[in-house]
Chains A and B, each alone.
Chain A
Amino acid sequence: MTQTDGSPFAPHTPAETAAMLEAVGVDAEADLFDIPDEVAFDGEFGIEPRSEQEIRGELRRLFARNDNLIEFMGRGHYSHYVPSIVDHLSDRAEFLTSYTQYQPEITQGFLQALFEYQSMLVELTGLPVANCSMYDAATALAEAALLADRVRQTSGHRIFVPEHLREGKRLVLENYVDGAGLVVESYPMDDGNVDHEALAELTDEETAMIYAENPTVRGTIEEGLSEVGEIADDNEALFCLGSDLVALSLLEKPATVGADVVVGEADVLGLPTSYGMGLGIFATRESFLRQVPGRLVGVSEDADDRRAYTLTLQTREQHIRKERATSNICTNQAWVALRAAMHIAALGPDGLVDLATDCVRNAAALAKRVDEIEGYQAPVHDRHHFREFVVHTDQPAAAITADVEAEGYAIHAIDDHLLQVCLTETNAHATDGLVDAFQEAA
């Protein structure tokens, strides 16, 4: 072996490169690649070299130009206060790795944390199997549809989703299931929630899966979800329920309403709302264990009968089963799942339920205050709400959002006269200001 004069972890010094090129009989590294001229970049990047200090200074000036709005925006992304212990523990070097926990002999700590994450999901959903995460709620939903297509319990190709489903989520779903020949269709909502009668009317034996969300994208809390489960059963279809970690701690347990798969966002905990990063929940029945997409951590015993954690049931996965794998996902969001689990552990069971309870109470209280202002009706839907609610405005919604923004607050306009407002503990301090801004704008 060539003597290395560089780092043992990156043995790639000029001398080694030259030795390797000589060994394979090539003059230059470029000769190893066949890149067409028309796609090769042959210009200057135009980046002036600066010192770290200068770059930091410039970035600070750049960031200062951002509007510093207080957000009351939700619709899929929610901000909850992340306790500092989560940063402190998850930033430990043992956890900061992009390397998958394939080797149980060196990753017991991380594997145990992921097993805890799965166990929390099992407790929150009431379903016995949870994987150790998907990319986000949208891909988890799409994987649920593919699972519905694979299992013998269903035979159809129709996937039903709420008409209010966020467009981005629907596009991901459609893109994912197109190759499997599945068709995505909408069912109507009745005052924010599933219209049971219309759903029963629309579905038939060609239905493979019915998807519902609780809370809905408009913040309403579903009532009578077991009826959706029954409609799915009547059509030999799967019932997939979308939710999030906080809501699951308070709302009807998915297992008790007949959900076959639970998907959703786990990024409501452990993460800020920045960068669009997600963390997909995936939990299901034991009978579908071998159809689960993604990674599973299991608990076993080592040669000395000690408890040991390991990735398990990998014969479902691509690196073993190739094109017949249950899914194309060949990774997970391990570090993000770790943070979500740490956040739940920091809150504790009571803390998590208290947080969820505040999501209901505070939204109701704010809706009442907005409703009292001339020119607004809130909440538009006569339902219980979780974190967010829809407001009707007599003025054009776009004019209201612009006026409110001028006062330093960001809200969604979802229609010509409909606004959506989302409240959590991270913006609760600013509700008086928001109410004043609504008053001014009316």
Chain B
Amino acid sequence: MSFDVPDDLSYLESHEWTTTDDDTVTIGITDFAQDELGDVVFVELPAVGDAVDAGSAFGVIESIKAVSDLYAPVSGEVTAVNEALFDQPELVNSDPFGEGWMLEVEPSEDEFDDLLSAEAYRDQIA
């Protein structure tokens, strides 16, 4: 089975994706991750204004068979949270790179955690 891995995004080994080209970055989990988790039933996210730390857990995602931490690719302040996920966590399954986005973060430093290119991430999940 092949999974969607958009070329214009960067990835973490822990299966989060992030944009890198704007002042604020958008973060979510990958198509592969949602498929591994199965039906997502709950997403716990920080509040707008909270700080996130690169490499630390910022939230929790729960599916019918597992619970996983969500890791931040960069340190910064949360500027937006996808509140639609509180009522419709299944958006993470149906559209992980679109309507299933999770956070917008304004990075406090330029340093991202070790990011993978789309190609490298494809190799990881192959």
Asked if B46 and A290 sit within 8 Å, CB to CB, the answer is no
**Is residue B121 contacting chain A, with contact meaning CB distance below 8 A?**
no
Q: How far is the CB of B46 from chain A (nearest CB, A)?
A: 7
**A-contacting residues of B (Cβ < 8 Å)?**
42, 44, 46-47, 62, 66-67, 69
Q: How far is the CB of B1 from chain A (nearest CB, A)?
A: 25
Closest 5 CB pairs of A and B: A315-B67, A315-B62, A321-B67, A290-B42, A152-B47
**B-contacting residues of A (Cβ < 8 Å)?**
152, 290, 315, 320-321, 324
With known contacts A320-B67, A321-B67, A290–B47 Cβ distance under 8 A: no
- Bound together, the chains give a CA A320 to CA B64 distance in angstroms of 11
List chain B residues, Cβ under 8 A from A321.
Answer: 67
Secondary structure at chain B's binding surface: helix, strand, loop or mixed?
A: strand
A-B contact pairs, 13 of them (CB 8 A): A152-B46, A152-B47, A290-B42, A290-B44, A290-B62, A315-B62, A315-B66, A315-B67, A320-B66, A320-B67, A321-B67, A324-B67, A324-B69
Interface centre among A315, A321, A324 (most CB of B within 10 A): A315
Q: How far is the CB of B27 from chain A (nearest CB, A)?
A: 18
- Bound together, the chains give a CA A152 to CA B66 distance in angstroms of 22
List chain B residues, Cβ under 8 A from A290.
Answer: 42, 44, 62
List chain A residues, Cβ under 8 A from B69.
Answer: 324
Closest to B45 in A: A152
Interface centre among B42, B44, B66, B67 (most CB of A within 10 A): B67
Closest to B46 in A: A152
- Bound together, the chains give a CA A321 to CA B63 distance in angstroms of 12
List chain A residues, Cβ under 8 A from B47.
Answer: 152
List chain A residues, Cβ under 8 A from B67.
Answer: 315, 320-321, 324
- Bound together, the chains give a CA A290 to CA B66 distance in angstroms of 14
- Bound together, the chains give a CA A324 to CA B69 distance in angstroms of 10
Q: How far is the CB of B88 from chain A (nearest CB, A)?
A: 17
Closest to B67 in A: A315
Q: How far is the CB of A323 from chain B (nearest CB, A)?
A: 12
Given contacts A290-B42, A315-B67, 11 further A-B contacts (CB under 8 A): A152-B46, A152-B47, A290-B44, A290-B62, A315-B62, A315-B66, A320-B66, A320-B67, A321-B67, A324-B67, A324-B69
List chain A residues, Cβ under 8 A from B46.
Answer: 152
Closest to B42 in A: A290
Q: How far is the CB of A159 from chain B (nearest CB, A)?
A: 23
Q: How far is the CB of A248 from chain B (nearest CB, A)?
A: 30
List chain B residues, Cβ under 8 A from A152.
Answer: 46-47
- Bound together, the chains give a CA A315 to CA B46 distance in angstroms of 20
Q: How far is the CB of B42 from chain A (nearest CB, A)?
A: 6
- Bound together, the chains give a CA A410 to CA B62 distance in angstroms of 54
- Bound together, the chains give a CA A152 to CA B47 distance in angstroms of 9
List chain A residues, Cβ under 8 A from B42.
Answer: 290
- Bound together, the chains give a CA A290 to CA B47 distance in angstroms of 17
Q: How far is the CB of A143 from chain B (nearest CB, A)?
A: 19
Q: How far is the CB of B95 from chain A (nearest CB, A)?
A: 23
Closest to A320 in B: B67
Q: How far is the CB of B41 from chain A (nearest CB, A)?
A: 8
Closest to A315 in B: B67
List chain B residues, Cβ under 8 A from A324.
Answer: 67, 69
- Bound together, the chains give a CA A324 to CA B70 distance in angstroms of 13
List chain B residues, Cβ under 8 A from A320.
Answer: 66-67
Closest to A290 in B: B42
Q: How far is the CB of B44 from chain A (nearest CB, A)?
A: 7
Q: How far is the CB of B103 from chain A (nearest CB, A)?
A: 14
Q: How far is the CB of A409 from chain B (nearest CB, A)?
A: 55
Closest to B64 in A: A315
Q: How far is the CB of A285 from chain B (nearest CB, A)?
A: 15
